């Protein structure tokens, strides 16, 4: 299974009357002992946990945000996670400029109010609700549209590559879905930015570093490299797919993260991979976050005959 899940026991979410029915005393309610507060009028009951699926990449902050979302949805039926909150739950790579200081919720009730510090409520006349790992969230296409107003085109492309690919979570929408959404939605904010991002989003991308590298090449007026070109390697009788490449000149671009260097297994596999590509007649240029990009550009231009 490409996207295995872990499972965590979330405390049951109960209203104050429900907590009293479970045996909570007035002292328990006031002090938070045994029934700690989740939000106003809602308590967590750790004695009656419910098993929930969580992604293997989820950290403690992800779990905490998911639990608070469930508590607020219990207190305010019909609300869903949206904007950057939903994007974090989806596993999309958000730009650093977007913090975690607020839980973003959406409702179709234009008269709805939630007066709670750290909660931002968005009122939407058209709200498409979906479930993500048991969590109430806005549809990924609507989330993507919301983020266009607060993200650069490059950041949107990285999020789009993540949503359309399956490098961290299963595919959440297709390029065709996105095109229909942009053309078929009236009064769409940041439509021009969404259209610009749409032109640059590619399928089958494995990581935001690959997207960064592809966008960097475009910014240097280099031809756009192919995402994961298929290379048959006779020495291992397998087809490999380097991160990016120029098949006509047999040039592969491989991004190496720190885990490749610090973990013996991935490092050895990378060496075998590069050797197999070289034996197949390909040149492999490896790049890290510390690579001198000017020299890297010169190397690419030389191989492409652009100098």
How close are the terminal C-alpha atoms of the chain, in Å?
Answer: 45
| Ordered structural domains, the chain, with CATH | 1-56 (no CATH), 77-200 (no CATH), 208-304 (3.40.960.10)
Report d(CA 196, CA 214) in Å as an integer: 15
The alpha helices in 185-255, defined as continuous H runs, are 191-200, 208-219
User: What per-residue confidence (pLDDT) applies to 217?
Assistant: 96
Asked if 63 and 13 count as a contact pair (C-beta separation under 8 A), the reply is no
Q: What is the pLDDT along the chain (307 residues), one digit of tens a residue?
A: 577 899 999 988 888 888 888 888 888 788 877 788 888 788 888 888 889 999 999 999 999 999 999 999 999 999 999 999 999 999 999 998 887 889 999 999 999 999 888 899 999 989 999 999 999 999 999 999 999 999 999 999 999 999 998 778 889 999 999 999 999 998 898 999 999 999 999 999 999 999 999 999 999 999 999 999 999 999 999 999 999 999 999 999 999 875 445 455 566 778 889 999 999 999 999 999 899 999 999 999 999 999 7
Residues 6+ away with beta carbon under 8 Å from 105: 69, 72, 76, 79, 80, 81, 82, 85, 114, 119, 120, 121, 122
Report d(CA 287, CA 277) in Å as an integer: 16
């Amino acid at each position: 299974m490409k996207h295995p899940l872990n499972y965590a026991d979330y405390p049951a979410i109960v209203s104050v009357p429900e907590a009293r029915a479970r045996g909570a005393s007035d002292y328990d309610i006031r002090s938070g002992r045994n029934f700690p507060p989740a939000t106003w009028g809602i308590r967590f009951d750790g004695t009656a946990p419910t098993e929930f699926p969580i992604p293997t990449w989820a950290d403690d902050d992800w779990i905490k945000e998911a639990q608070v979302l469930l508590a607020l949805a219990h207190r305010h039926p019909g609300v869903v996670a949206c904007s950057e909150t939903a994007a974090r739950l989806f596993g999309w790579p958000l730009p650093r400029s977007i913090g975690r200081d607020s839980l973003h919720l959406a409702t179709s009730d234009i008269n709805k109010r939630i007066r709670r510090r750290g909660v931002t409520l968005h009122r939407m006349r058209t709200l498409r609700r979906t479930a993500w790992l048991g969590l109430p969230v806005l549809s990924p296409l609507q989330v993507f549209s919301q983020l266009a107003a607060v993200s650069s085109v490059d950041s949107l492309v990285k999020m789009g590559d993540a949503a359309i690919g399956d490098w961290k979570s299963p595919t959440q929408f297709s390029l065709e879905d996105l095109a229909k959404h942009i053309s078929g939605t009236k009064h769409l904010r940041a439509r021009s930015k969404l259209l610009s991002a749409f032109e640059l989003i590619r399928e089958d991308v494995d990581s935001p570093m690959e997207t960064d590298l592809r966008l960097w090449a475009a910014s240097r007026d280099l031809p756009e490299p192919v995402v994961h070109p298929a290379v048959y390697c006779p020495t291992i009788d397998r087809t490999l797919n380097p991160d990016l490449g120029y098949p006509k000149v047999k040039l592969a671009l491989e991004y190496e993260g720190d885990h490749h260097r610090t973990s013996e297994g991935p490092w050895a596999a990378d060496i075998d991979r590069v050797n197999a590509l070289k034996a197949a007649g390909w040149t492999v240029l490896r790049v890290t976050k510390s690579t001198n990009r000017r020299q890297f550009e010169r190397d690419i231009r030389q191989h492409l005959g652009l100098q």
